[in-house]
Amino acid sequence: MNALSRLLEHPLAHGRDLDDPQTTAVRRQIIAGKPFLVAIYQEWYALLRSAIPDPPGAILELGAGAGFIERTLPEALKTDVLPFPGVDLVADARGLPFVSGSLRAILMTNVFHHVPDAAAFLSEASRTLRPGGVVAMIEPWSTSWSRFVYRHLHHEPFDVAAPDWVLPPGGPLSGANGALPWIVLHRDRARFDSRWPEFTVDRLTPIMPLRYLLSGGVSLRALMPSWTTGPWRGVERLLEPFSDVFGMFVFAVVRKRSAPGAARPAGPGGKEPTDRARNSHPGC
């Protein structure tokens, strides 16, 4: 942690071991104490909800420990890698304890970049999702602005040059590469398409260049009072045309095709299947 991060560190986050289950409880407390941040999570959950297909199939959230998705999706099954209070099931993303084809959605909020082996998770997602099912996630994303922020104001590694999709050895929560979603879904898109032809990437929409940073997230002090949430949201709407430069996160939706012959969207070399007009959804 650099000097600026230490200066801005939230008092409750100071000296915490990220792999200690108590740290997740503290993070839940930090989120609850920041109305600015609560509003951000509510918008993220609304975005995830918008991607969920109709029944049949269960809805699964991975890495649910510090969140409160039950307010938006009470039917979601909450899982995490450790037995946190409020979690329904302890589960590892690399080996999901579900019958093949039984899920209609796998949801993640800042979780994919902690999965030690992204390929193992994607294979499990392919197995457990029914045709038409989705992996929907809010994750860090690589842009000119976000690379500066994540490298100077965030405790997790952000390595866009990582050679593969496997994280270096680390704890269940401390192991991370914030650039992993961008690596898998953008930099190495040809590899993704080749290995999982049953998947299509429906959405890759960079979002939220300012508000999460200003909220302080789960580790830093809030930089703005809660009443400024609305005005800052308005500023972000003005920045939407430049989200490829300023977005700090991405709303990503990966769908399992319903039919073997369905057309695939273009990869990074062509036009992404991203409808930026949909950023007016309450989740943005």
CATH number at 20 reads 3.40.50
Predicted local confidence at residue 136, as pLDDT: 98
**Domain span at 234:** 3-81+100-258
In a domain, 181, yes or no: yes
In a domain, 277, yes or no: no
Predicted local confidence at residue 259, as pLDDT: 64
In a domain, 269, yes or no: no
In a domain, 95, yes or no: no
Helix axes 35-51, 229-239, angle to 10 degrees: 50
In a domain, 129, yes or no: yes
In a domain, 184, yes or no: yes
Q: How many domains does the chain have?
A: 1
Q: What is the mean pLDDT of each run of 10 residues along the chain (284 residues)?
A: 71 78 84 94 97 97 93 96 90 96 98 97 98 98 96 89 93 90 98 98 98 92 93 96 97 88 38 34 30
CB atoms within 10 A of CB 94: 16
In a domain, 242, yes or no: yes
- CB-CB contact of 102 with 57 (8 Å): yes
In a domain, 280, yes or no: no
Q: Can you read off the two tokens belonging to residue 85?
A: 């209070």
Measured between alpha carbons, how far is 193 from 60 in angstroms, rounded to an integer? 24
Predicted local confidence at residue 261, as pLDDT: 46
